[in-house]
Amino acid sequence: AQSVTQPDIHITVSEGASLELRCNYSYGATPYLFWYVQSPGQGLQLLLKYFSGDTLVQGIKGFEAEFKRSQSSFNLRKPSVHWSDAAEYFCAVGARNTGTASKLTFGTGTRLQVTL
């Protein structure tokens, strides 16, 4: 069975500083990988996803993530954080062999706080 670990429950960074959120997955083959963001009281919005090809994926709002097969990781990065980036971030993994749709397994999330 697939699983996702987000080792950091809570991270605080200063506005303008760089950010890296960690995500490790467990899956027997190359998975589909996703990062979602959830603002307070809102649903989840897709930031970016990895299917195949280039292991560095660009997303919305200036985020990027790098798939590293050897480390089973898919860390999310942003070079300069804005106060509006304060939210909860979820990494998710989807299997490639599940028929018509990929069920997602989510990590427990990382809450990002941005100080001014």
Partner 1 sequence: DAEITQSPRHKITETGRQVTLACHQTWNHNNMFWYRQDLGHGLRLIHYSYGVQDTNKGEVSDGYSVSRSNTEDLPLTLESAASSQTSVYFCASSATGVGETQYFGPGTRLLVL
Shortest separation between residue 82's beta carbon and partner 1, angstroms: 22
CA distance 106 to 52: 20
Q: Tell which phi-psi region holds residue 83, choosing left (phi > 0), alpha (psi between -120 and 50) or beta.
A: alpha
Binding flag, residue 11, partner 1 (CB under 8 A)? no
Of 109 and 112, the one with the shorter C-beta distance to partner 1 is 109
x-or-dash string of contact with partner 1, 36-75, rule CB under 8 A: x----xxxxxx--x-x------------------------
CA distance 95 to 1: 9
Structure tokens at 51: 């299917």
Of 79 and 96, the one with the shorter C-beta distance to partner 1 is 96
Of 51 and 83, the one with the shorter C-beta distance to partner 1 is 51
Q: Tell which phi-psi region holds residue 51, choosing left (phi > 0), alpha (psi between -120 and 50) or beta.
A: alpha
Q: Which residues bind partner 1 (CB under 8 A)?
A: 4, 32, 34, 36, 41-46, 49, 51, 90, 94-109
